[in-house]
Chains A and B, each alone.
Chain A
Amino acid sequence: MAAAVTAAEAGAKVLVLDEQPGPGGQIYRGIEAPGGAGDTVLGVEYHHGRTLSTALRNSGAGYLPGATVWQVSPQREIGVSVDGMARIITADAVIIATGAMERPFPVPGWTLPGVMSVGAAQIALKAHGLGAPDAVFVGTGPLLYLIAHQYVRAGIAVKAVLDTTPWHRYLTAAPYLPGALLASRQLLKGLGYMRAIRQAGVPFIKGVGSISIAGNGTADAIRYEKSGHLHELAADHIFVHQGVVPNVNLTRATGCDHLWNGAQECWRVVADTWGETSLAGIFAAGDATHIGGALAAEHEGRLAALAALTHTGRLDPSVRNNRGAPIHQALAREMRLRPFLDALFRPPKVHRVPADDATIVCRCEEVTAGDIRRTAALGCPGPNQLKSFCRAGMGPCQGRLCSLTVTEMLAEANNATPGAVGDYRRRPPVKPLTVGELAALAGPD
C-alpha cells in the first residue's frame, strides 16, 4: 500500500495486484472488512492499517483484488488471473511485496484437522470476527503472545499458552539487548502482552520441550514435554507458531537471487538498500525480502517506490536520495529490535527437524521425515534431486510448507550449511492456473 501511494503521488500509472479480497495483506487483514474483530480487540497498531488503506483508495492507484499473480518474468511480464481469466500485463517496474508466511511446524500430528497456524487464528479474528474458545497456543515468537493477548481482550477463553522458547535463548539473546533497549517501546509492549495473559488467568507454561498432537480424524489433544515430564492437554483447536519467514516462491520463480539468512534461519532476497533485486526493474519490499514487521515493510515499500520511479525516469536520483534519507533512518530504527528478536525466538531445532521418522514433512505429498532421510542417504546434491526422488515439494503448495525443513534435513545429512545445500527451484505458475486459461493466451498457431 505504501509503495503504491508513493508511486501514484508522483504521477506514475500504478496497479496493485492483490490476491486477497481486500487491502491490508495479512498484518492488516480485513482492515476494510465490516465483520472483523475491531480495534479494541486488535489494538492500535492494527488500526494504523486503515491510514494506509484510505491513502491507497485516494491515491489514484489502480487496485485489483482477487488477482492471483502466477508469474513475473525477468522482462517484467506479469501473468495474472482474475475470476478464472488469465492475462499478461507488462510493466516498466515491478515491486514484489508478497509478504511472509508462517514457518512450518513439523511435529507429529500437525496435519490433523483442527491444528492451524497462529496466523490463521489472527485472520479468523481480524477478517471474520471468529475465535476458537479453549484452544491451546504453542510455540515461540512475538505473534504467539499477540494472538493470546487479542483473545484475552476479546473475552475468548484460552486453554493455555505453551511457550517453547528455550530458557537459554534469553542468554544468547542478551548481547543484543543494549541495541534493543532503544526500541524499548516495542519491548515493553511485548512484556505487557505476557503480563495481561497471565493476569487473565491463562495458564502460561514456559520452557516447553518437544510437542506432539494427537487425535482420531481430528485433533483432540496436545502432548508436551517440560522438565523431563510429559503432559497432555485436551483441545480441538491448537494454534502453532514459530516465527514467520519470507514467502520466496514468486521471487525465486522470477529468477531473483537469494541468500541464506543465518540469523533468521531462512532465505532472503538479495537486494540493494532500495529494494532492487538482482533483476533490473524488479524490486522487493517488506517481509517478502526479510522479516522486519509491518512498519519496516511500509518504509521499504516507500523506498522501493522511489527507486522504481527513478528507474523509470520519473524521479531524479538526487531527489530520490533526499526523500529516501529520512525513510532509511526510520527503517533502521525499526530494525533495531530485530537481532534481539531473531536470537531470542530462534525456533528450537526439535521443532524444525523432526526426530520422529513418522512425522510428515511434505504435507501435500505426505512425505515423512523418514522418507526424506532415506532419500538423502542416496547422496542428493540438493533439494531438487531429493524432490525428484521422493516427491517432497511437488504438491500444490509448491514447497511453501516443506522447503525449509527439507533444506535443513539435507544440510544435516550432507554435513553442509543450508546456504550451501540450497532450495527447491521454483517455477511459474506460482499459483495454479487451468489449461484453458493459459491456452486462451496463445496466439495464432
Chain B
Amino acid sequence: MFTEITAADNSTNLAFTFEGRMIEARVGMTVAAALLAAGEVATRETPISGNPRGAYCLMGVCFECLVMIDGIANQQGCMVLVRDGMNVSRQLGVAVVSP
C-alpha cells in the first residue's frame, strides 16, 4: 500500500467520500493518488468481463483509473484534482447515458 514518505502535516485538509468511506487528501493530490494512498487499488470493473482494474500509469495514458466522480462516469482519476466534498465511486462497467 502507498504511504506518505514525509510526516503528515496539516496540509491534509481535503476530504472526499469513496463508496461511503471518507478519505483525506492533501491539496494538489489527484483522485487516483489519494485512492492509492487510502489502500484502494481496485477502482473499476471492466465493461467486458467485470474484472477488477486500478490505476496503472498515473499520467492519463492507460485509462485504467476510470472512476465515477460526482455522478459523471469514466473520469480519469489521475487527471482530476481532489476537491473537498467530492463523491467518488468505482466505475462499474459502462457509462449510463439515458434520458
- Select B5's contact among A119, A130, A236, beta carbons within 8 Å: A130
Contact present for B3 and A116 (CB under 8 Å)? no
Closest to A125 in B: B5
**A38 neighbours in B (Cβ, 8 Å):** 6
Contact present for B51 and A128 (CB under 8 Å)? no
Identify which of A179-187, A336-344, A361-369 touches chain B.
Answer: A361-369
Provide the A349-387 mask, 1 if CB < 8 A to any CB of B, else 0.
000000000000001111000000000000000000000
- Select A366's contact among B33, B36, B51, B78, beta carbons within 8 Å: B51
- What's the least CB distance linking B80 to chain A, in Å? 9
Q: How far is the CA of A430 from the CA of B41 in the complex (A)?
A: 27
- Select B56's contact among A120, A156, A218, beta carbons within 8 Å: A120
Contact present for B3 and A131 (CB under 8 Å)? yes
Q: Is B96 an interface residue (CB 8 A)?
A: no
- Select A124's contact among B2, B42, B43, beta carbons within 8 Å: B2
Q: Is A196 an interface residue (CB 8 A)?
A: no
Q: Is A302 an interface residue (CB 8 A)?
A: no
Contact present for B28 and A33 (CB under 8 Å)? yes
Q: How far is the CA of A115 from the CA of B54 in the complex (A)?
A: 8
Known: A111-B51, A119-B57. Contact between A130 and B74, CB under 8 A?
A: no
Contact present for A247 and B81 (CB under 8 Å)? no
Q: How far is the CA of A133 from the CA of B1 in the complex (A)?
A: 7
The residue among A19, A129, A131 with the most chain B CB atoms within 10 A of its own CB is A129
Contact present for B57 and A396 (CB under 8 Å)? no
Known: A111-B51, A218-B42, A366-B48. Contact between A116 and B56, CB under 8 A?
A: yes
Contact present for A19 and B79 (CB under 8 Å)? yes
CB < 8 Å A-B pair total: 130
- CB contacts under 8 Å to A, within B40-99, are 41-43, 46, 48-49, 51-64, 66, 74, 78-79, 81
- CB contacts under 8 Å to B, within A241-282, are 247
- Select A21's contact among B11, B28, B56, beta carbons within 8 Å: B28
Q: Is A5 an interface residue (CB 8 A)?
A: no
Q: Is B37 an interface residue (CB 8 A)?
A: yes
**A247 neighbours in B (Cβ, 8 Å):** 61
Q: Is A41 an interface residue (CB 8 A)?
A: yes
Closest to A395 in B: B63
- Select B36's contact among A19, A119, A130, A363, beta carbons within 8 Å: A130
Contact present for B54 and A130 (CB under 8 Å)? no
**B42 neighbours in A (Cβ, 8 Å):** 113, 217-218
- What's the least CB distance linking B55 to chain A, in Å? 7
**A432 neighbours in B (Cβ, 8 Å):** 74
- What's the least CB distance linking B68 to chain A, in Å? 15
Q: Is A142 an interface residue (CB 8 A)?
A: no
- What's the least CB distance linking B39 to chain A, in Å? 9
Chain B interface (Cβ within 8 Å of chain A)?
Answer: 1-6, 11, 26-30, 33, 36-37, 41-43, 46, 48-49, 51-64, 66, 74, 78-79, 81
Chain A interface (Cβ within 8 Å of chain B)?
Answer: 19-21, 26, 29, 33-35, 37-38, 41, 68, 101-102, 111-117, 119-120, 123-125, 127-133, 154-156, 217-218, 236-237, 247, 363-366, 395-397, 400-401, 431-432
Question: 28 A–B contact pairs at CB < 8 A?
Answer: A21-B28, A37-B5, A111-B51, A114-B41, A116-B56, A117-B56, A120-B58, A123-B33, A124-B36, A128-B30, A130-B2, A131-B2, A132-B1, A132-B2, A156-B5, A236-B41, A237-B2, A247-B61, A363-B53, A363-B64, A365-B48, A366-B51, A395-B63, A396-B74, A397-B62, A397-B63, A401-B62, A432-B74
Known contacts A124-B33, A132-B2, A218-B41; 14 further A-B pairs (Cβ under 8 A): A19-B60, A21-B81, A34-B11, A41-B5, A116-B57, A120-B58, A128-B37, A130-B3, A155-B5, A156-B5, A236-B1, A365-B48, A366-B46, A396-B63
